[in-house]
Structure 1
Amino acid sequence: MKPVLWTFTAVLLIAALVLIVISNFSVYHIVSTSNLSIMVHERMLLNISNETGIFKVNVIEAPKDTLVILLSGENYQKFLMNEQVSSAPVLKIDGKREFFGEFEDCLVILVNPYVKGGFVEIEVSRYVEKFPYAYLAIPGYFLFIISMGLLFQLVKHTLRSRSKNFI
């Protein structure tokens, strides 16, 4: 009967861990999409409303010398103080054109033409993160507690039986 209890406890523990891991899977759903079409001659700041905090920014069209820099929170404050950007994502028409990420405080798009500027078109999509399997965490944690209790009882019983055999 002992191996059956150990096997049952192991299966229970694995099932609990699988349920807990699955409950953490997330899915991103698009909330809204908007296109920003602007004529840029000098540096421009575009302030985007931050309802969900998760954005995908795609540069559709821009002159080759134009940089699109995504600023949020701390980077935006640094830019306002000394007009330098250190670690913000940079999008270019001839390089990385798309960025998907989370912006906690705000999202400000800095369009920076080097030479002459021109027409810039940017697509901004807002996403929301959902956890469709989150309810599986409840039975997962319940099974985890039961399996750990069984495991401790089995270990305790095994140690007691070994100590009796030595005496």
Structure 2
Amino acid sequence: MQLIYVLIIISGGFVLFFGIQRVYKTYTLKDIFQFRLLERPIEFNIDSSGLFSLSVIGTGSIESSSDFKINIRHVKTGKLLVIKENHIQYRFKKDGVLSTEYLKFSINIPGKYSIELDNINSLSTKGSMLKIMGVMESKVEIENLQILIKEALTLKYKILSILLSVIGILLLTFGILLFFW
């Protein structure tokens, strides 16, 4: 019987290790380019293909009207990238400032890209993501916001990393309790 408990402890350790490894990867994604929201023209270089995100530094909540448009275009080919808005806006701190992952896009052809922002004033940004705080708090000034382009992971990857960590901790705890009970 003790052998089964030891196997539960070992499997919990492996699951926890892979979960922590995945969580660590979410925090070590490389920043590609950062610029002020009102800056023009905006061109940046991406050396590898993959999934990338456009994050807004200085805000906890972003809402945009249909007037607000972001176009990311490959400079050589002129091809527009397909940009998807995140259903769940992931929040993080960048240099101690609250930031929100707003859009995701996939790049197949590495190279130089340009960003076009239209109707920036229709972008609504607030410091808190809570609706109740949104009523009381004022809008964050657009002049104070910055855009960060960085490597990204899918939402499934982030959720799986958290689940693996939690399941690993539970298996380890359960195995240790059974072993010494």
Give the TM-score normalised by structure 2: 0.36
Instruction: Give the greater-gyration-radius structure (CA).
Output: 1
Give the TM-score normalised by structure 1: 0.38
